Amino acid sequence: DTEVTQTPKHLVMGMTNKKSLKCEQHMGHRAMYWYKQKAKKPPELMFVYSYEKLSINESVPSRFSPECPNSSLLNLHLHALQPEDSALYLCASSQSIGGAYGYTFGSGTRLTVV
Amino acid sequence: GQNIDQPTEMTATEGAIVQINCTYQTSGFNGLFWYQQHAGEAPTFLSYNVLDGLEEKGRFSSFLSRSKGYSYLLLKELQMKDSASYLCAVDQTGANNLFFGTGTRLTVIP
């Protein structure tokens, strides 16, 4: 298995909703990442987990809450989002933290906040 | 800090060759990646350059000059399916992240 699987592929949520994005990989990668990507912009790093511990939080608002239950799973819990949070949310994994091994990206969750 | 620049948009003709440039300024450099991203899809790995020179993989080649802070991606025999965004990303020494350039949107026309 050489893929990163993200669910759901599309999500529409209201500003008062609570939802979660899920990411799963079975490549034995020990680093996992959440990126946010707006249209026609490069991916922006949100969070990095290394060996299931939060390593980097790029000053992301608390309405985004990451969770890494085990080495294969990464969740992003969403609560009280704003319309400007609408974007493509990408999960990625790598063998180890840092870029040298390259990243494998999931296909993303297209989030629309209404 | 880091600064990574790419042209925003390029257009090229099917069957032709196109070169997409990337310049970077980083405090510490390990290597440079090129990713392809079709609209609404995940970035997919194309190449990774650590040493100076040209790396060739089929229709795609990537070049790196560390002393000049410069890389390019060369696409030969362009096909319509090559229409996508091309992202260069720097692996910075001591960082736990890849730093992406703004991406170049390539449109291939018949």
User: What pLDDT does residue A55 have?
Assistant: 84
Chain A segment 9-48 residues within 8 A of B by beta carbon are 31, 33, 40-43, 45, 48
Looking at the predicted structure, is the pLDDT value of residue B73 above 80? yes
User: What pLDDT does residue B107 have?
Assistant: 97
Chain A segment 46-85 residues within 8 A of B by beta carbon are 48, 50, 55-56
pLDDT digits (tens, 9 = 90+) for A33-45: 999 999 888 889 9
More confident residue, B35 or A98: B35
The candidate with the shortest Cα–Cα distance to A29, out of A13, A52, A12, is A52
**Residue B82 DSSP SS3:** helix
Task: Name the residue type at position A2.
Answer: T
User: What pLDDT does residue A22 have?
Assistant: 98
Burial class from Cβ neighbours inside 10 Å (0-12, 13-18, 19+) for residue A33 reads buried
Quote the distance between the C-alpha of residue A103 and its chain's center: 13
